Structure 1
Amino acid sequence: MLIGLLLTVGLYSLDLTSLILPLAGGFTILAPILVVGLYDVSRRLEAGLAVSLADCFGAFGRSLGQLAAIGVALLVCYLVWIRTALLLFALFFNQDPPPLDQFLGNVVFSLEGAPLLILGTLIGAVFAAAVFSITAVSVPLIYDRPVDVMTAIGVSLLTVRQNYKLMFGWAALIVLVTVVGVITAFIGLAVAVPVLAYATWHAYRDLIVEGPIYPEDAQLPPAVPTPAVGPSS
């Protein structure tokens, strides 16, 4: 919430308030790595352990290298999304992003702005779907077990594919909650983010079970415990 408010103030001072919406949309790209500490809180609550702020921040140390790798990948996705938003403004209006009042009048509530809104929404949906598919369970999996980034992403993609109806509903709920959080001046995110992180952790625990990743590997004794996708919902 604090980061969102600081970004809003910064954009307002630069007269780039129309970028608040794409920046807020980009929050869903970075959110999976930002809430690792909340996964630790959820794990401790599930196990009946005490929770402390130090443990929350220390959660990244469990698999720092792998979490850093996926964090960098998400940051690149976020920067590409912001650059795409800027290019769309330039493509349709031959200018830098206008102030928010002009953006609402000339884009959101005008026929001339419809192509930008449609194309921007479609591109944003592609970004969101891709990021959700690779992070749906990969980040909590990396935090929870000694797996590498590529293995975790593969498990996440397989989980989304096998449970696509459930995961589509979950993704839609995340978008809805994020929108509500943004339109309440980011105040709603202070409640929504911990709740979503807690729910994501338990969804991960329900979807991922111990065992080999792929059925054909069932006869191979793994060197370390490896994850497998649970039964399709």
Structure 2
Amino acid sequence: MNHAALSPTRLTFGDIAASLREGAALARATRGVSMAYAAVFSAVGLILIASILALGLSPLVLPFAGGFMLIGPILLTGYFEMARITEYPAAPKLADAFAAFARAPRSLWLLALVCAFLFLIWITDAGVLYSFTLGGTAMDYGLDWLDTQRDDLLSFLLWGSLMGSLLAYMIFTISAFSVPLVYERRATLVQAVSASAHAVIGNFLVCLVWGVVLGSVIVFSVIVLPMLLLTLPVMSYASFALYRRAFPYDEKPTAVAN
């Protein structure tokens, strides 16, 4: 394992466009297995959203959808592994995506705990904000409230968006590139988080735009769940492609050791 200092390259908006094209191409090439893996998250999301709507707490759908961005980097490890497999070349299987978690180094699980902790903070804060702004007001089953003009609802959405954006930026900064760096065993956890932060801050505008695009697409897709089957593979592979542009290999990478 090479723990040499990692210096991120300078990214451009063209890198975002190129990564999206690569992500779309790889998603098409692995359509069946990629959509099957996305279906797992879609099923979990469907259960959570249905439960929230049934309880008359429909405005909390948005915080839960946004919360996916806090734990998403860890869950996408399966896509990173499938992207690696296609480089050799070989055809990835669904089992490869789940096996990625078993092969993941311990430091990646520590990073997962950090993401999960921030997710719990976010959901707790969203619940407290809901109680202060909309507490005692039951929302009808469904999302009809999205086209209403209510001060309490607008206040919930405004402050919720501000808090969520702050947490999302924090987790994006430390995990955007550290997750694949740790998974590919190119750095220790501390080195990977430091390298990720340097890459995001050093390419602030490019990474900000990428984060907004990534977050907007995924959050909207979580709300309209069937879209997640299509968008999650594309955005996951695009994220991996952008990571490879930020931290390119000097030579062809080797397989992740068991």
Q: Which band: TM-score by shorter chain?
A: 0.7 to 0.9
CA 1:115–1:107: 2 relative to 1, 3 Å: farther
CA 1:106–1:50: 2 relative to 1, 3 Å: closer
Q: Which runs of 5+ in 1 are unaligned?
A: 212-233
Report the Cα offset of residue 104 of structure 1. 6.0
- SS of 2:196 mapped into structure 1: helix
- 1:79 maps onto 2:125 in alignment: no
Report the Cα offset of residue 4 of structure 1. 0.8
- Cα deviation code 1:157-185 (max 9, x no counterpart): 0000111121111111112212331342x
Instruction: Name the residue aligned to 1:205.
Output: 244
Greater RCO, 1 or 2 (C-alpha within 8 Å, sep 6+): 2
- 1:91 maps onto 2:136 in alignment: no
Measured in 2, the distance between the counterparts of 1:161 and 1:150 equals: 16
Report the Cα offset of residue 14 of structure 1. 2.9
TM-score by length of 1: 0.81
Q: Which runs of 5+ in 2 are unaligned?
A: 1-41, 251-258
CA 1:105–1:35: 2 relative to 1, 3 Å: closer
Is the CA contact 1:181–1:189 (under 8 Å) kept in the aligned structure 2?
Answer: yes
Report the Cα offset of residue 108 of structure 1. 5.4
- SS of 2:138 mapped into structure 1: coil
Identity within the alignment, %: 30
CA 1:146–1:77: 2 relative to 1, 3 Å: same
Instruction: Name the residue aligned to 2:195.
Output: 155
Measured in 2, the distance between the counterparts of 1:203 and 1:64 equals: 22
- 1:47 maps onto 2:91 in alignment: no
Report the Cα offset of residue 76 of structure 1. 0.6
Is the CA contact 1:43–1:201 (under 8 Å) kept in the aligned structure 2?
Answer: no
Report the Cα offset of residue 146 of structure 1. 4.8
- 1:111 maps onto 2:126 in alignment: no
Measured in 1, the distance between the counterparts of 2:146 and 2:246 equals: 45
- 1:165 maps onto 2:205 in alignment: yes
After TM superposition, list the pairs within 5 Å mapping 1:156-195 onto structure 2.
Answer: 156-184=196-224, 186-195=225-234
Is the CA contact 1:35–1:197 (under 8 Å) kept in the aligned structure 2?
Answer: yes
Q: 1:17 is matched with which residue: 53, 58, 71?
A: 58
Report the Cα offset of residue 12 of structure 1. 2.8
Greater mean deviation of Cα atoms: 105-114 or 127-136: 105-114
CA 1:126–1:181: 2 relative to 1, 3 Å: same
Q: 1:3 is matched with which residue: 44, 49, 59?
A: 44
Report the Cα offset of residue 101 of structure 1. 6.1
Instruction: Name the residue aligned to 2:72.
Output: 31
The amino acid that maps onto 2:171 is V
Instruction: Report the aligned-residue RMSD.
Output: 2.4
The amino acid that maps onto 1:134 is I
Report the Cα offset of residue 147 of structure 1. 2.7
Is the CA contact 1:38–1:198 (under 8 Å) kept in the aligned structure 2?
Answer: yes
Is the CA contact 2:80–2:240 (under 8 Å) kept in the aligned structure 1?
Answer: yes
Measured in 2, the distance between the counterparts of 1:181 and 1:147 equals: 32
Larger Rg: 1
Is the CA contact 2:180–2:243 (under 8 Å) kept in the aligned structure 1?
Answer: yes
Matched pairs, number: 209
Report the Cα offset of residue 71 of structure 1. 0.8
The amino acid that maps onto 1:38 is Y
Measured in 1, the distance between the counterparts of 2:127 and 2:227 equals: 27
Measured in 2, the distance between the counterparts of 1:116 and 1:99 equals: 13
TM-score by length of 2: 0.73
CA 1:182–1:146: 2 relative to 1, 3 Å: closer
Report the Cα offset of residue 46 of structure 1. 2.5
CA 1:43–1:69: 2 relative to 1, 3 Å: same
